[in-house]
Structure 1
Amino acid sequence: MSETPRLSRKLSAIAESATLKVDAKAKSLQAAGRPVISYAAGEPDFATPQFIVDAAAAALQDPANFRYTPAAGLPVLREAIAAKTLRDSGLEVSAGQIVVTNGGKQAVYQAFQAVVNPGDEVLLPAPYWTTYPEAIRLADGVPVEVFADASQDYKVTVAQLEDARTDRTTTLVFVSPSNPTGAVYTPEETRAIAEWALEHGIWIISDEIYQNLTYDGARATSVVEAVPEVAGQTILVNGVAKTYAMTGWRVGWMIGPAAAIKLAANLQSHLTSNVNNIAQRAALAALTGSQDEAEGFRRAFDVRRRLIVEELSRIPGVTVPRPLGAFYVYPDVTGLLGREWRGRRIDTTLELADLILEEAEVAVVPGEAFGPSGYLRLSYALGEDQLVAGIRRLEALFA
């Protein structure tokens, strides 16, 4: 019998999304009848606004939507994205600088493919979203973690970036508001980082998917607004998923210099071609219709944010920086490590998350999914009653 053909070494080295893995495990336990409360999912629990659903239903009556359309996206949607980018990111772009993608995740993947060459080093502020390092490796790049802890509100400094820069550094990942921490860089911090990247000719891949979810008067300043000159070496990534509760519709986009966007559009023409036209029409309605319901979502998240910070802060050994954006808290739980809980010695947050799921039937994502151990990510994109009930279980476990 002949040997089984070898599989791809590159893909074999890629780890499964830790957040999706934890969420899937929680849902499996729930399906088996376990009363698991999950803080793992990175998606709003609200229904997509009805006017967006109605736009999709209307699109089903137009046979033009049943055919191939431009791989880079419907022209009318790209125009709407350009208007949104000018409004929220302060950058004027043409439709030709935009590619509509199957969710923000595809935009992230294609952004790295467009600007990273084999062996290039990509500075990756940590804690980071679990997909970034894998997407960098898929582009044959080398992720270089730059860690900022809770004492820095999880925000890296120019000095840290400069210490990590080498002659192989070509790209920086910038995310504000952050997944997993909810941290929002101030306009001054954003400007300093953008000026540093401009000085050294470093590409910026800026993920702005949470830019409309900020609190306490904070605003997510775009790098291209802070330093307009950096637009020539910046790719913006965004989408409708988080703001409009449209995670399953799978519509994102990337914006950047024409040459880089052309490469990404060429890749997409072979990879997926156009995004589902019905979903594109729904995204168009989201961007051009009333923003009242999206603002209602934001206000509801703000109430939950305050609640979860207050409740988690009651647990001895847990430190909770107050997030200013997104819908996550990222508590420092090092005070719970190196101890025995329910007869088990717990030294890492991987072990801690397992203990919490088994003993309290609460699903959280350990810090190892986003960088160093010592932290947990909890999404507050769930109802207030469940949110409080889950924290009560944690209080009982760590009493």
Structure 2
Amino acid sequence: MSSPINNSILIVDDIPTNIKVLFDILNQAGFRVTVAKNGQSALAKARKSLPNLILLDVMMPGIDGFETCRYLKADAKTKDIPIIFMTARSDTVDKVKGLQLGAVDYITKPIQHEEVLARINVHLELRRIQLRLAQEEKMSSLGQLVAGIAHEINNPVNFIYGNLIHAQNNIIDLLNLIKLYENYTVNPIPEIQKFSQDIELEFIKQDLPNLLSSLMMGTERVEKIVRSLRLFSRLEDAEFQLFNIHEGIDSTIIILSHRLKASATNPEINIIKEYGDIPLVECYAGKLNQVFMNLLANAIDALEESVINKKRDNELTIKIRTAVTDDQKSILVEIADNGVGIPLDVQQTIFEQFYTTKPLGKGTGLGLAIAHEIIVEKHGGSLEVKSTPGEGAQFLITIPIQQV
């Protein structure tokens, strides 16, 4: 379960005594608490701060709790925030109404300390699981989409590649035949001479082999991209298998390549690879690709932020280095950017669930938490961050070469 300090709760109540009781309980438990004294204020604060959970009083002047809940659930930004109603009523009709509007639970006044914390923790954990499943489903859907695209591209590319070889052989034969005609036809008729000049036959004879070579290179490039896409899409691997870490990183870079190119708002991001001589690693290949995706996407976000905030004038780079650790038992993967960097206090909590430094609505705070779990819990490795604000960030992954 995530620590309370990374969970924010909005209390909505018009009675100061109730607010104080709840504030003290939640504050002492380590939660970050904000307060709204009416429905209108609650709507504004919920949209601004996007709390992890809302404690909402039913009976309030102006917009009551039910109406406030209706507005919250109708808003795309706040519709997924769990709402627990607070009421002195024990009327089943009111409870049913609240649940029908989208509330997840009820707390009956007077407030009971243990009950409040128990219900809050249960629903925060449910929300964490929900968001986690959504994140994993998103990655799974991406994998399925990529696999589908790769499959659709693969067949025509193989057809083109296979036929290019025959086309090349046929064209070479035709060029040799033309050469024979030229050798044994000293004075071709004027019509042949004119047509040869019109089509620039000499240029065609020199250019055709180069053209075919370019077509072969282009097709091989597409085939390589398709292999990378298929490799990345291995998100459902159920067992450990030997995996080429470099292929996994490269396939992830292919997926993110559109974000690396220069645009109207951002310069090009350069990838610097310093790949060492490393063995195959026994791992969940698809899960590691998910880690590489999260870390590289975060590095790109940091570089884009440095451009927006005009904190970076030099070349934008992401350096990826791999090596075998000194004890020869693990692989080291270093992903470093020269973006805005990460403050020291943020580094202490960056792998905790729900913690995010991204703007509201841009991140769930689960990407790095899931990456940490995949590396540490599923592979027995380590994931660390080192950063100096203003000088970029460096993520260090160690993965055992063999699982025991």
TM-score between the two structures when normalised by the length of structure 1: 0.20
Bigger RCO of structures 1 and 2 (CA < 8 A, at least 6 apart): 1
Which structure would you say has the larger Rg?
Answer: 2
> Quick check: which one's helix share is greater?
2
TM-score between the two structures when normalised by the length of structure 2: 0.20
